[in-house]
Amino acid sequence: MESTITESRETITAGTSMDETEGLTYPRIECKNINVSYGDKQAIFDISLPIPDRSVTALIGPSGCGKSTFLRCLNRMNDTIESCKVTGEIIMDGENINDPDIDPVLLRSRVGMVFQKPNPFPKSIFDNIAYGPRIHGLAATREDLDEMVEKSLRRAGLWEEVKDRLSSPGNSLSGGQQQRLCIARAIAVRPEVILMDEPCSALDPVATARIEELIDELRKRYCIVIVTHSMQQAARVSQRTAFFHLGELVEMGDTDQIFTNPRERRTEDYITGRFG
């Protein structure tokens, strides 16, 4: 399993043009001509976007610009919305994951997601983390599972706070802790990509700072895509930024470049607060 992934990564690296993602690692996910529509209403127009590995890509833009919709294409959560139609290619490990032949269940075990509002299962902290490994059969023994839970919680920076009360309900934690629990839950199934849909919008500044630190930490191991309304957050945590407006990708590039020297007028207006 490990070897095949490594192999496919190499082939992608070899075959993809690097002009746009210069200075970064090879793209983990390559989106080509993505169109999304809800019934008659088109939400995303022809977006092509490479997403680099081991770094944070921030999607910014005003409300309703399609950034969350785009994010949900990456683990096919849009499949759960009946009227939603996604066309285009999303290449990951040489496979088009938007292909109906690809089982979204398998995809989601490799592309984890963290939501806007912390949504722990109404179960114990331990069970929240252990659920994913259990259904995917990742842990052969109880010891494996314990270890996996501990590792995930450590990576999410929550272990020290909850190690003595793993059996208490996940809902009993504070908002920020719940969100870190959700991140730990996503990590536990050993994904390669983590999608975060405004993960801090329901949190106070202190909890937000902790999550941002955590994201910076996680970037070393995972490919992270984060949707955020806060431009400061995008500037703080991301290496790459894509600016969406009215369902179109206006501009993308290194975060520093987008925030200091945007190429497009609309981007500049948005980040300087003239609209949105």
Partner 1 sequence: MTDVAPAPFRNEKALKRLKKRRAADTRFRLYGLSAIAFALAALSLLLVSILSQAISAATYHVVRYDVVLDPAVIAPAGKDKPADVARNIDGFYELLRSNLLQTFPDAQGNRLATRQLGDLVTRLAVLPVAKAVAANPTQIGQELTVKVPLNDDLDLYLKGAVSPEARVKLGAVEQGSETATGQVRLSGPNAFKGLQSLIATQRAEVGDAADARSILVTSGTATGRVVSLSADNLEMDLLAGSASDFQGTRPLARIIALPEAQRNVSDKQIAWTLALKDMGRISRVPHTSLLTNTDSTYPELAGALAAIVGSLLTMLVTGFIAIPVGIFASVYLEEFAPRNRLTEIIEVNINNLAAVPSIVFGLLGAAVFLGFFGLPRSAPLVGGLVLALLTLPTIIIASRAALKSVPPSIRAAALAVGASRMQSVFHHVLPVAGPGIFTGAILGMARALGETAPLLLIGMVAFVADVPSGPTDESTALPVLVYSWATHAERAWEPMTAAVIVILLMFLITMNGIVVFLRRRFERRW
Return residues touching partner 1 (CB under 8 A).
Answer: 75, 77, 80, 82, 105-106, 108-109, 112-113, 115, 117, 119-122, 131-132, 135-136, 171, 182, 185-186, 188-189
Q: Which is nearer to partner 1, 45 or 131 (CB)?
A: 131
Q: Which is nearer to partner 1, 196 or 207 (CB)?
A: 196
**Smallest distance, partner 1 to C-beta of residue 19, A:** 33
Closest CB to partner 1 among residues 5, 106: 106
Tokens 């010891």: give the residue: 143
Which amino acid is it at 63?
Answer: S
| Cβ closest to partner 1, residue 48 vs residue 119 | 119
Contact 132, 123 (CB under 8 A): no
Nearer to partner 1 among residue 178 and residue 233 (C-beta): 178
Is 112 within 8 Å of 191 (Cβ atoms)? Answer: yes
Beginning with the edge strand found earlier in the chain, give each strand of the sheet holding 41-52 in spatial order.
41-52, 27-38, 84-92, 95-96
Shortest approach of partner 1 to residue 68 CB, angstroms? 12
Dist CA 131 CA 124 (whole Å)? 10
State in angstroms the smallest separation of the CB of 153 from partner 1: 15
Which one, 21 or 75, has the nearer CB to partner 1?
75
What residue type is assigned to position 69 of the chain? T
Q: How far apart are the C-alpha atoms of 182 and 97, rounded to whole Å?
A: 24
CB atoms within 10 A of CB 219: 18
In this structure, how many other beta carbons lie within 10 angstroms of the beta carbon of residue 67? 28
Q: How far is the CB of 182 from partner 1 (least distance, A)?
A: 7
The residue among 96 and 171 lying less far from partner 1, judged by its C-beta, is 171
Comparing CB distances to partner 1, the nearer of 91 and 194 is: 194
For residue 29, what are the β-bridge partners?
A: 51, 92
Who contacts 272 (Cβ-Cβ below 8 Å, separation ≥6)? none
- State the DSSP string of 129-177: HHHHHHHHT--SSHHHHHHHHHHHHHHTT-HHHHTT-TTSBGGGS-HHH
Give the shortest CB-113-to-partner 1 separation in angstroms: 4
**Least spacing, CB of residue 110 vs partner 1, in Å:** 8
Smallest gap, in angstroms, from Cβ of residue 165 to partner 1? 18
Task: Give the C-alpha separation, 7 to 148, whole Å.
Answer: 26
- In the complex, least distance from residue 121 CB atom to partner 1, rounded to whole angstroms: 6
Among the listed residues 186, 188, 195, the one whose alpha carbon sits nearest the alpha carbon of residue 76: 195
